[in-house]
Amino acid sequence: MLHAVDTTKYKHLKPNNDKFIRNAVLSFLIAGRATISSALTWFFRLLSKHSEATTKIRQEINKKMPKFDLVDLDGAVCETIRLYPSVSFNHKSPAKPDVLPSGHKVDESWKIVISI
């Protein structure tokens, strides 16, 4: 996951600094918590709307729990994430002014939003 960090900005930070490491770890924990809680919220909302899916998942859990081979549960979670992605877009900024393949000029202060 660290390879996704913008290396230009990273060089100007002091990565050996304890405060930097603490803040990086805190960012990962907080980001993970927000995305997981969002996914779970949508998952339980969808289950509340589809009682037949809830029943099927409960039966699967009661039958297969020690093996953790929960196909219906996995499918429901994957469908929830497909319908309601926790991170629906990403953004990047160029290190210096640049020109996109389309010919559009991009300033270094701009953010390019990418829909996922």
User: Using one digit for the tens of pLDDT, what is the confidence trace for 61-79?
Assistant: 999 887 778 999 999 999 9
Q: Could you tell me the pTM of the whole model? A: 0.55
- Residue 80: count other Cβ atoms within 10 Å of its Cβ: 20
Q: What is the dihedral of CA 39, 72, 53, 48, to 10 degrees?
A: -20
Share the mean pLDDT of the chain.
Answer: 82
Name the pLDDT band for 38 (thresholds 50, 70, 90): confident
| DSSP state letter for 65 | G
Q: How many domains in the chain?
A: 2
Q: What pLDDT sits at residue 16?
A: 64
Report residue 47 as tokens: 């289950």
Same structural domain for residues 21 and 63? yes
Same structural domain for residues 30 and 80? yes
Same structural domain for residues 63 and 100? no
**Domain extent for 38:** 2-85
Same structural domain for residues 39 and 93? no
